[in-house]
Structure 1
Amino acid sequence: MRRLAPALALGTAALIGVAGCAAGQGTASLGNVRLAAAEAVQASAQKAEEVTSYTADLVFDATGGQERSGKIQGRMVYQSKPQLATDITLDVISFGGQNVPGGARVILLGDTVYAKSELLSRFTGTGKPWTKVSTADLEAGERAGAEEALAQARQFDLPGTVKLLTASKDVKAVGTETVGGVETTHYSGTFPVAEAVQALAPQERERLQKDLSQAKNVKFDLWADAQNLPRKVTLSGSEDGASFTMAAHLTGFNEPVTITAPPADQVGGLPEGAGAPPAGTGRD
Structure 2
Amino acid sequence: MLKRTISMTAAGAALVVAAVAGCGSNAQPIQVNLAASEVLAQAAQKTAEVTSYTVDAVVNVAHPQEGSGKVQGRMLYQSKPQLAADVTLDTVDMGGRSVPGGVRAVLQGDTVYVKVQALNDFLGNTKPWIKVSLSDTGHAGEVNQYLGQIQQFDLASVTKLVTASQDVKSVGTESVNGEDATHYSGTFPVEVAVQQLPAEQQEQARKNLAELKDVKFDIWVAADGLPRKLALNGSKEGATLDATLFFKGYNESVNIETPPADQVGELPKGTTN
Query: Which is further off, 155-164 or 129-138?
Result: 129-138
TM-score (norm 2): 0.90
> In the alignment, what sits opposite 1:148?
145
> In the alignment, what sits opposite 2:13?
12
Q: Give the Cα–Cα distance (whole angstroms) in 2 for the partners of residues 159 and 273 of structure 1.
A: 35
The one-character-per-residue Cα deviations of 1:113-153 (angstroms, maximum 9, x if unpaired) are 10111112112222111111114666x3x543233123211
Alignment of 1:34-73 (within 5 A): 34-65=33-64, 67-73=66-72
Aligned-pair CA distance for 1:159: 1.2
1:263 aligns with 2:264: no
Give the number of equivalent residue pairs. 264
The one-character-per-residue Cα deviations of 1:178-214 (angstroms, maximum 9, x if unpaired) are 0011100000000000000111122321111111111
- Contact 2:113–2:129 at 8 Å: present in 1 too? yes
- Contact 2:132–2:140 at 8 Å: present in 1 too? no
> In the alignment, what sits opposite 1:223?
220
Q: Give the Cα–Cα distance (whole angstroms) in 1 for the partners of residues 269 and 162 of structure 2.
A: 45
Q: Give the Cα–Cα distance (whole angstroms) in 2 for the partners of residues 135 and 223 of structure 1.
A: 34
Q: Give the Cα–Cα distance (whole angstroms) in 1 for the partners of residues 10 and 272 of structure 2.
A: 17
Q: Go from structure 1 to structure 2 and tell me whether the alpha carbon gap of 1:68 and 1:201 turns closer, same or farther (over 3 Å shift).
A: farther
Residue identity over aligned pairs, in percent, reads 50
Alignment of 1:118-197 (within 5 A): 118-135=117-134, 140=138, 142-197=139-194
Aligned-pair CA distance for 1:63: 2.2
Q: Give the Cα–Cα distance (whole angstroms) in 2 for the partners of residues 60 and 230 of structure 1.
A: 18
- Contact 1:18–1:247 at 8 Å: present in 2 too? no
The one-character-per-residue Cα deviations of 1:22-47 (angstroms, maximum 9, x if unpaired) are xxxxxxxx776311111111111111
- Contact 2:161–2:194 at 8 Å: present in 1 too? yes
Superposition RMSD in Å: 2.0
Alignment of 1:36-115 (within 5 A): 36-65=35-64, 67-115=66-114
- Contact 2:87–2:105 at 8 Å: present in 1 too? yes
Q: Give the Cα–Cα distance (whole angstroms) in 2 for the partners of residues 5 and 60 of structure 1.
A: 18
Aligned-pair CA distance for 1:257: 0.5
Greater relative CO, 1 or 2 (CA 8 Å, sep 6+): 1
The one-character-per-residue Cα deviations of 1:37-79 (angstroms, maximum 9, x if unpaired) are 1111111111112211000001100123462310000001011
Q: Give the Cα–Cα distance (whole angstroms) in 1 for the partners of residues 204 and 79 of structure 2.
A: 20
Q: Give the Cα–Cα distance (whole angstroms) in 1 for the partners of residues 16 and 201 of structure 2.
A: 13
Q: Which amino acid aligns with 1:100?
A: V
Q: Give the Cα–Cα distance (whole angstroms) in 2 for the partners of residues 272 and 266 of structure 1.
A: 19
Q: Which amino acid aligns with 2:188?
A: F
Q: Give the Cα–Cα distance (whole angstroms) in 1 for the partners of residues 264 and 251 of structure 2.
A: 30
Aligned-pair CA distance for 1:161: 1.3
Q: Go from structure 1 to structure 2 and tell me whether the alpha carbon gap of 1:66 and 1:93 turns closer, same or farther (over 3 Å shift).
A: farther
- Contact 1:120–1:131 at 8 Å: present in 2 too? no
Q: Which amino acid aligns with 2:39?
A: A
Counterpart secondary structure, 1:69: strand
Counterpart secondary structure, 1:209: helix
Alignment of 1:18-33 (within 5 A): 18=19, 33=32
Q: Give the Cα–Cα distance (whole angstroms) in 2 for the partners of residues 162 and 136 of structure 1.
A: 28
> In the alignment, what sits opposite 1:23?
none
TM-score (norm 1): 0.86
Aligned-pair CA distance for 1:15: 2.8
Q: Go from structure 1 to structure 2 and tell me whether the alpha carbon gap of 1:113 and 1:40 turns closer, same or farther (over 3 Å shift).
A: same
Which of 1 and 2 has greater Rg? 1
